[in-house]
A and B are shown apart, each in its own frame.
Chain A
């Protein structure tokens, strides 16, 4: 399932099934093992990768097992970059509601993207909203 391109980037294409989510995060963390990251960085990477891959499966591809999620990851110096792209219609990342305001605090959903934005050093969605790029500075 894992492929390495000439540019050193690793890619992984999974079906839209949440059973694959942990496999993706475990694969990335295993690949990062030689970096001896601290527990906090490992936690952040796992959580953010799992949140965005799950969003891609559930919200992006609407759990349609015929659609795939593409994950590409690589290192640029001390920067870990993970891109996750689904085959859905995208969403407006600017319209994600703030889960921390009083009226949203009791809501069950809406914290995933918010956490990702806090735990990663850079988070960028494409205009269509079906692809997100996460950057974590590995100190």
Chain B
């Protein structure tokens, strides 16, 4: 698992590559802790290269969102594989997260 962070159009875009599960969650949390400490207002997380997410992985994403909300930050998830999106639908996390089909759209409409 790897997290790559880029700046695009004054937004922070994070690319997660690999699995988001109980084994990788501590590293993912660590990568986002730095952004949260800086109170980054808007983060787009591109999940195109995420192949697997378990309940711990979902919890990690909820935790990052929760931490961002403490200072009014917002997060968008993009480019999710169909199977992973279905986990968000089953657990109704689709109502909690802003899920956008495509990264470019998520960036240009992130007001």
Binding site for B on A (CB under 8 A): 18, 21-22, 39-40, 43, 46-47, 50-51, 54, 99-100, 105-109, 111-112, 114-115, 118-119
Return chain B residues, CB-CB under 8 Å to A118: 90
Describe A's contact surface by its main secondary structure: helix
- In the complex, the answer to whether A105 meets B92 with C-beta atoms within 8 Å is yes
- In the complex, the answer to whether B96 meets A105 with C-beta atoms within 8 Å is yes
Q: Once bound together, how far apart are the Cα atoms of A119 and B58, in whole Å?
A: 16
Q: Which residue of B lies closest to A47 (CB)?
A: B54
Q: Once bound together, how far apart are the Cα atoms of A47 and B87, in whole Å?
A: 11
With contact pairs A43-B83, A105-B96, A106-B66 given, residues A111 and B22 touching in the complex (Cβ less than 8 Å): no
Return chain A residues, CB-CB under 8 Å to B22: 18, 21, 54
Return chain B residues, CB-CB under 8 Å to A99: 91-92
- In the complex, the answer to whether B55 meets A105 with C-beta atoms within 8 Å is no
Q: Which residue of B lies closest to A111 (CB)?
A: B55
Task: Answer yes or no: B71 CB below 8 A from chain A CBs.
Answer: no
Q: Once bound together, how far apart are the Cα atoms of A21 and B63, in whole Å?
A: 23
- In the complex, the answer to whether B62 meets A40 with C-beta atoms within 8 Å is no
Q: Mark B73-104, 1 if CB is under 8 A from A, else 0.
A: 00000000001000100111101100000000
Q: Once bound together, how far apart are the Cα atoms of A118 and B52, in whole Å?
A: 17
Q: Mark B17-60, 1 if CB is under 8 A from A, else 0.
A: 00001110000000000000000000000000000101100110
With contact pairs A50-B54, A106-B62, A108-B59 given, residues A115 and B83 touching in the complex (Cβ less than 8 Å): no
